[in-house]
Amino acid sequence: MQQIIQQNQTAAPLIFLMVQSVDHISPLTGAAPAVLLSKNGAAFAAPAGAISEIGNGWYKVAANATDANTLGPLLLHATATGGDPTDAVFEVGPVPASDASGNALATAANLATDTAAIEAAVNAIPAAVVADIQAAGQLIFQLVSPMLDNAGFTIVRGDDYFNTDGRAIPFTASAGVWPVLTGATIALKADISPSCPNQGTPIVNIAGVVQTAGSGITQTVYVEIPSATTTGLAIGASAYSYAVIATLSDGHVATLVEGMITVKSAP
């Protein structure tokens, strides 16, 4: 079977089999074959790659870019004491620029071209458009204690989290991110994580408050959690997964925020 290798490749060795001359069947082992290569019909010459034994009569010429630098048939002729001469044919092909579906492969040249094109397209976006995208598409969580990044927050078991104390848990989104919350009801629903090693209240369902609502403005909701609830929570990092859910004035339900709650013991 003819083996196809890529031009200038340094990965695939040239493999060949040698058998003993006494029976023309048994593998020839422990030999030091003399190998010659012919590139695309040119005169035979010694290979640049080192020759070594694989085992069970199989030998190889180590992959070398010099041996595979010419397109076309690559002929291998090998001789060794006590063995029959052996010949093998390899086909050196060009490095493909695309796959069978016509998709460009990730060569250094086309990666550089694609990267430059992407950078040019991004740089061509007007600054005003970029500002509008950032303003309309960014969901902002205010880092007011006990809020943390990534919509996760940490609470202390047994503590109260009331708005009058400045400890309610707020969630804020810029205009256009959430549906209009005027007339909506809010609830925080949390379930204990299967990976939490400790026991505690399995399900939490707490009503929230719409603080700021309207079309085209930043909207804010918050949730108050009393100590009567936090006292029963399971302690652990990411102990609960939660969602803040709004039931809109038209009866439609919208999930506003999802994340994890970490519960720690009081100092």
Could you tell me if 2 and 91 are in contact, meaning their C-beta atoms sit under 8 angstroms apart?
yes
Q: Are residues 174 and 239 in the same domain?
A: yes
In a domain, 98, yes or no: no
Q: Are residues 259 and 172 in the same domain?
A: yes
* Distance in angstroms (rounded) separating the CA atoms of residues 128 and 135: 11
List CB contacts of 65: < 8 A, sequence separation 6 or more: 8, 9, 10
* Distance in angstroms (rounded) separating the CA atoms of residues 74 and 216: 71
12-65 confidence digits (pLDDT tens): 999 999 999 999 999 999 999 999 999 999 999 999 999 999 999 999 999 999
In a domain, 247, yes or no: yes
Q: What is the mean pLDDT of the segment spanning 173-187?
A: 91
In a domain, 259, yes or no: yes
**Predicted pLDDT at 56:** 93
Q: Are residues 62 and 121 in the same domain?
A: no
Q: What is the CATH number of the domain that holds 253?
A: 2.60.40
58-90 confidence digits (pLDDT tens): 999 999 999 999 999 999 999 999 999 999 999
Which bin fits 209, alpha (ψ -120 to 50), beta or left (φ > 0)?
A: beta
* Distance in angstroms (rounded) separating the CA atoms of residues 21 and 83: 5
Q: Are residues 121 and 208 in the same domain?
A: no
Please determine, for residue 241, whether its predicted confidence score (pLDDT) is greater than 60.
yes
Q: Are residues 65 and 164 in the same domain?
A: no
Q: Are residues 66 and 128 in the same domain?
A: no
Count how many domains the chain has. Answer: 3
Please determine, for residue 132, whether its predicted confidence score (pLDDT) is greater than 70.
no
In a domain, 26, yes or no: yes
In a domain, 144, yes or no: no
Q: Are residues 160 and 252 in the same domain?
A: yes
Q: Are residues 181 and 224 in the same domain?
A: yes
In a domain, 147, yes or no: no
In a domain, 53, yes or no: yes
**Predicted pLDDT at 145:** 35
In a domain, 34, yes or no: yes
Average pLDDT, the chain: 85
User: Higher confidence at residue 123 or residue 161?
Assistant: 161
Q: Is 38 helix (H, G, I), strand (E, B) or coil?
A: strand
Q: Are residues 250 and 194 in the same domain?
A: yes
Q: Are residues 172 and 83 in the same domain?
A: no
**Predicted pLDDT at 147:** 35
Q: Are residues 170 and 214 in the same domain?
A: yes
**Predicted pLDDT at 173:** 85
What range defines the domain where residue 65 resides?
Answer: 3-93
**Strand arrangement of the beta sheet that strand 58-61 belongs to:** 14-17, 58-61, 51-55
Q: What is the mean pLDDT of the segment spanning 184-208?
A: 91
Could you tell me if 210 and 221 are in contact, meaning their C-beta atoms sit under 8 angstroms apart?
yes
Q: Give the pLDDT band (50/70/90) at residue 114.
A: low
Q: Are residues 207 and 130 in the same domain?
A: no
